[in-house]
Structure 1
């Protein structure tokens, strides 16, 4: 990654914040329900007072946000504070290496990958703010555009309880693509798909997410019976630890385009899926693995192989804004996911908010991510966690 500025950094302080807001309605998936909306934010500050913000994926387990915050405070602070790194990428690689044995010892590679990912977003934000440059531009190729193409969005997380009402509301707000949860029984899934299709029209892009609900035979059958709804993709129809060969078989034996990647980690694993037939829509989550350092590489590799790059996100506002910048920097066709359900943390943790126009958002020249959390407005959602 060749960058136009000095990207060396030294973090003096790392602050960790945990927030929880009510989920109304609860977010339903095939494997569990979220009854509140958690967020873990990381703020890094350098010796000159320049800051950067990142967000750690923390949706599940539902008690996991506080644990991730403690892990970040305990293990990231001594590894980054007072240390100098040549670039955010060098920081990401050093932390990944230093925590690799601990990941094996404690059996928590995911938690450690997630806190490193959130920190990576924060240090990239810091470097771009220091350079007075928007992050999308810093991460774009050297001859990148003066203004990025609008980033297309889709309304995600449409639950299986009266999904047509939420889909219709999001259509009225300006969304032009939609994704519904499936995996709740063939009859219920079909009825919901028909209701949503009636609400959004025959031509609107409609996707479905099974959240790893089925085995191979069930996934093949589901893809075949859902073909009539004109779906843009079928997401995570089988377990995330299914092999690329399994995904290739699934691509052959049922008709729908396959999407996945939010539960993959590491360039070797992403490369194995991107290089094989099967997963045609690649969806890394920059708060779950990789941050910008990893996910920009994933996105560019996906485009090189003719795949569609659609960053995954179902959290609060810092991670969502970061996903916009990730997509704008990588380019190519595809969407960024926006949770269709109410989430107070989406708005107060990324100020100013984004403006939706005909299903897309236009990024501007504000430095870094261009947003900051309003910690005063969200004070009632802050959870005091000992040790952070």
Structure 2
């Protein structure tokens, strides 16, 4: 089995015409941290390391990856990504604790894991979804990131691109007004989801969830902080007229297993670029579906992470939807081979080897802020 011979890290930052609003802050531009792993026989794979927020998370993760993790991967055999991820996590465990950077290290390991899976699929000459046991196929998708300022305008733009399901950001003073306006503006066959981004404490969440009964919501995502005990989600789910979703901020297999067992979430949403990569998000997806829950991968980064999420969803099956951010992002738009949904509300998935894309060198040159190579 060939070994890892070269690791390239590229940090990019794309301007955004308007901030992406969330309950925890606004993203004023769109960062991206890409990793390219090449083996000793010349096969390459791409991954994306989560770095959305705060703004300098990009630079932070770049240096953690370059200084502490890439050297540990170099020279290792490429054939067992889960084993490499476990070994990397064990190697930096004490450093992560000492620095308080457990999440950032997990982000980097997740991106490296995705790159290795892409590499393995390209070596086999098949789409990643097939390597994972499925097939590249059109996927039902929803448009996320609908901002609170003018949600109807953003929904109209997403609708024009074929989306039929929309996810509105909550956690703002105008929440109920927006929910009322958007609900009234939905057309036949359309569905509204909502995402609170951990905005509420438990008592406030109890009150707000009760008031959601008047709105036709498919789910409410992250109503409370993700680090609360699973029993809190179980209690809220029993009270809520709307199914609960979450998982993007859980950061261990044990945390997902406990949440699945507690049955507080109807929809489980790990993010392959944030924790677990393909290796462990696949396990989460299978366990969630075996428990009768819906797996819908979270993704709000660039095109590389989106396509890894899409191939994993295609591989594991189920009735989940692919999350597609509808906000402008050159790091997504220049990479993915689609701009919207087909007439059935589905996203086409590339059938080329791996995740099916190659970054545009001109884009990289224009938006690159840092780059390094470890060999």
Per-residue CA deviation, residues 287-319 of structure 1 (Å, 9 max, x unaligned), is: 000000010000000000000000000011100
Per-residue CA deviation, residues 191-216 of structure 1 (Å, 9 max, x unaligned), is: 11122223332541211000111111
Corresponding residue SS for 1:275 = helix
The structure 1 residue matched to 2:206, chosen from 217, 220, 231, is 220
Q: What is the deviation of 1:386?
A: 7.8
Q: What is the deviation of 1:339?
A: 0.7
The structure 2 residue matched to 1:292, chosen from 275, 278, 281, is 278
The structure 1 residue matched to 2:145, chosen from 118, 136, 157, is 157
Aligned to 1:65: 58
What aligned pairs does 1:177-256 form with structure 2 within 5 A after superposition?
177-185=165-173, 188-201=174-187, 203-256=189-242
Aligned to 2:39: 46
Corresponding residue SS for 1:239 = coil
Give yes or no for the alignment of 1:97 onto 2:82. Answer: no
Alpha-carbon distance in structure 2 between the residues aligned to 1:162 and 1:363: 30
Structure 1 residues 351, 180: closer, same or farther in 2, change over 3 A? closer
Per-residue CA deviation, residues 19-57 of structure 1 (Å, 9 max, x unaligned), is: 111122100011100100000000001112111000000
Structure 1 residues 9, 291: closer, same or farther in 2, change over 3 A? farther
Aligned to 1:22: 15
Corresponding residue SS for 1:376 = helix
What aligned pairs does 1:333-348 form with structure 2 within 5 A after superposition?
333-348=319-334
**Which ranges of structure 1 fall in alignment gaps of 5 or more residues?**
1-7
- Alignment length (residue pairs): 373
The structure 2 residue matched to 1:318, chosen from 287, 304, 308, is 304
Structure 1 residues 324, 274: closer, same or farther in 2, change over 3 A? same
The structure 2 residue matched to 1:174, chosen from 157, 162, 168, is 162
Per-residue CA deviation, residues 97-143 of structure 1 (Å, 9 max, x unaligned), is: 21212211211100100000000000100011011011001111xxx
Alpha-carbon distance in structure 1 between the residues aligned to 2:39 and 2:56: 31
Corresponding residue SS for 1:377 = helix
Structure 1 residues 85, 387: closer, same or farther in 2, change over 3 A? closer
Q: Is the 8 A contact 2:222 2:245 kept in 1?
A: yes
Aligned to 1:5: none
Aligned to 1:274: 260
Alpha-carbon distance in structure 1 between the residues aligned to 2:158 and 2:308: 22
Structure 1 residues 85, 134: closer, same or farther in 2, change over 3 A? closer
Q: Is the 8 A contact 2:136 2:351 kept in 1?
A: no
Alpha-carbon distance in structure 2 between the residues aligned to 1:20 and 1:296: 29
TM-score calculated relative to the size of structure 1:
0.92
Alpha-carbon distance in structure 1 between the residues aligned to 2:341 and 2:239: 38
Per-residue CA deviation, residues 209-228 of structure 1 (Å, 9 max, x unaligned), is: 00111111211111111221
Q: What is the deviation of 1:66?
A: 1.0
Q: Is the 8 A contact 1:174 1:359 kept in 2?
A: yes
Per-residue CA deviation, residues 271-290 of structure 1 (Å, 9 max, x unaligned), is: 00011121110000000000
What aligned pairs does 1:116-127 form with structure 2 within 5 A after superposition?
116-127=109-120
Q: What is the deviation of 1:151?
A: 1.1
Structure 1 residues 39, 268: closer, same or farther in 2, change over 3 A? same
Corresponding residue SS for 1:249 = helix
Alpha-carbon distance in structure 1 between the residues aligned to 2:262 and 2:4: 40
User: CA RMSD, aligned part only?
Assistant: 1.6
The structure 2 residue matched to 1:379, chosen from 362, 365, 370, is 365
Corresponding residue SS for 1:37 = strand
TM-score calculated relative to the size of structure 2:
0.96
Q: Is the 8 A contact 2:164 2:189 kept in 1?
A: no
Q: Is the 8 A contact 2:88 2:109 kept in 1?
A: yes
